[in-house]
Amino acid sequence: MARLYVLLFLVQIVLAVCALISCLSAEEGQIRALPRIAWVLIILFFPLVGSVAWFVAGREPDPGVRGARPAGTGFAERKPRRPIAPDDDPEFLRSVQDRAQQQDQELFSRWEEDLRRREDYLRRRDGEPPREGDRPEV
């Protein structure tokens, strides 16, 4: 009988550690119903009940998991949050791409103007008049 109690105690400890790791590593948007610190305290003070409660009601289920409940199942809904990192924000990425295209276009225009200037200089040096019709329009 003592071995059974030891085994159940170890299972409880492992479950509590897994729940604690899951709670501490969850993103802010994945935690439901209570703030993170409240879940941590519940898991620490009531290891068995707190761990089961965390896995059942405290975290958002993964969308790819079978049997996952749809959002809005009795808990307060959170507003969608803006991306934290700039590289997660599609608007920021679009502005970076637009700025890069604009800079590339300006650089290309300067290169073309420099090339025209050099061609005109070489033609004048060789005695030929500059040819306006041979140049492509940008």
Tell me the per-residue pLDDT of 1-41, one tens digit each, with 9 for 90 and over.
888 889 999 999 999 999 999 999 888 888 888 888 999 99
pTM (2 decimals)? 0.45
DSSP structure string for the chain: -HHHHHHHHHHHHHHHHHHHHHHHHS-GGGB-SS-HHHHHHHHHHSHHHHHHHIIIIIBPPPTTSTTPPPS-SSSPPPPPPPPSSGGG-HHHHHHHHHHHHHHHHHHHHHHHHHHHHHHHHHHHHHTPPPPSTTSPP-
Residues of the chain whose pLDDT is less than 70? 61-83, 129-138
Per-residue confidence (pLDDT) for residue 132, from 0 to 100? 64
Per-residue confidence (pLDDT) for residue 85, from 0 to 100? 75
Per-residue confidence (pLDDT) for residue 33, from 0 to 100? 82
